[in-house]
Structure 1
């Protein structure tokens, strides 16, 4: 199990659990704005739990959460702050911990229908600039469509650092556990082909039900085998029930499934590893206790 790379877990719920300022619409960005020490504490908790990679708290730094005016005036500064906090936690860990710069969906999670290619690069630019000094790698996450991924890949084509791209999956369809697809309806094979074409260093799947991740990992591996190529595959699932197709993630704080305690989540982790995953972590509702359970697999 030495080849397993362990990501951290969710940020927003952990901030709320620690008592940080937390509300809509700012979500996890509120603590970054008003009480950044809580963000550092969450990063440190994941490092202590055994994460090899911690993810910057930049997911909510988009107009959907912080508003157009604040994004315009403070987006780059807040991204820089998010990067500094993650780097501080990594540097004081006493071991090798990498910082993944989170690049979020720019127009709302789970909503490929809202994607605007003309505005995407403009919104992405201040996040990239603010995070750049602190990142070991880039993690474009919770992307619902290949066109979202292509914008990121093109912007970072000459950066030189690894780019990981993570897609969110349909998880409410009757056949979703047998045949995974992106929330746009696109095939996993199309996502893998885009990643291979752009030299992406890892393809991941996140913020979806555990039940759909095995099929996605197996389809991704099969697509790579067919192309004669291989890059790492990652999985980090969420712990809340499936949402309606028209829902936008982070609209409200959803209940957590009782069966996805650390032991329950670990059962899924073993399935994903068997399906070919090399990178494992957690998304919404998955906390340090889950990451600690995953880390024990290496002991």
Structure 2
């Protein structure tokens, strides 16, 4: 239903103002979150699911087929903490003759949440034509510039980044704590674009104002 609503709103906006404003025709991107988010125990930031590849495939297949059949243009496979789950999503996307981006949650400057090197993830996904971009989301902003460089050195695909504000999530209380990274979000975004990111946004605890600033920056770049 969310895809139905978005497709209708896109068309209404396009007819009312978009096509005469010199804007690109918007894509409807259907979010495909990790198995760990379904568990609701914070394991999307650890990747230690303890399930088989077949379990992951069965979990994602039904949801992805529903979203694609509803009219999505692209899957946003996001907050993925382990390479195996990313491969499952890429394989399903390929079987469906669909397209996706895949973005990982990361725990430091070089590793995704389960400890796999982001460089190895980039190499593994390079072979999938259906994967249109690789990147990072739901990750602290100060790790992102380094992660972009690791991806860029190991993949020819466009890089997408949309980190958190810098605060940390407590899966027990389901609340956010700590301070936002001291630098202005837009200043971080400028670094990410200079490092090679082609698509930039924001994830948890970022605001509409942050996105407006990033959009204005990107148009100047």
Normalising by structure 2, we get a TM-score of 0.83
Distance change (3 Å), C-alpha of 1:256 and 1:281: farther
The secondary structure found in structure 2 opposite 1:201 is strand
Aligned residue number for residue 114 of structure 2: 184
Which residue is 1:235 aligned to?
A: 161
- How many residues matched? 201
Aligned-residue CA RMSD (Å): 2.1
Q: Distance in 1 between matches of 2:57 and 2:73?
A: 21
Given that 1:240 and 1:255 are in contact with CA atoms closer than 8 Å, whether structure 2 keeps it comes out as no
Residue of structure 2 aligned with 1:92, choices 4, 12, 15: 12
For residue 74 of structure 2, what is the aligned residue in structure 1?
Answer: 137
What is the CA-CA distance between 1:148 and the residue it aligns to? Answer: 0.6
Show CA shifts across 1:27-46 (max 9, x none). Answer: xxxxxxxxxxxxxxxxxxxx
Query: Segments of 4+ in structure 1 off by > 6 A?
Result: none
Q: Secondary structure at the match of 2:110?
A: coil
Residue 102 in 1 paired to residue 22 in 2?
A: no
258 and 222 in structure 1: CA distance in 2 versus 1, 3 angstrom threshold: closer
Instruction: Give yes or no for contact 2:93–2:99 (8 Å, CA) kept in 1.
Output: no
Distance 1:218 1:113, change over 3 A: same
Distance in 2 (CA, whole Å) between partners of 1:204 and 1:156 is 17
Q: Which residue of 2 aligns with 1:164?
A: 101
Gaps of 5+ in 1: 1-80, 171-175, 225-229
Equivalent residue runs for 1:58-97 within 5 Å: 81-94=1-14, 95=18, 96-97=25-26
Indicate the larger mover: 149-158 or 211-220. Answer: 149-158
- Give the conservation status (yes or no) of the 8 Å contact 2:79–2:138: yes
Q: Do structure 1's residue 198 and structure 2's residue 128 form an aligned pair?
A: yes
Going from structure 1 to structure 2, the CA distance change for 1:163 and 1:115 (only over 3 Å counts) comes to: farther
Extract unaligned runs of 5+ from structure 2: 19-24, 38-43
How is 1:212-251 mapped onto 2 (pairs within 5 angstroms)? 212-224=143-155, 230-242=156-168, 248=171
Shift in Å at residue 84 of structure 1?
1.4
Equivalent residue of 1:191, what SS? helix
Instruction: Please report the TM-score for the alignment, with normalisation by the length of structure 1.
Output: 0.62
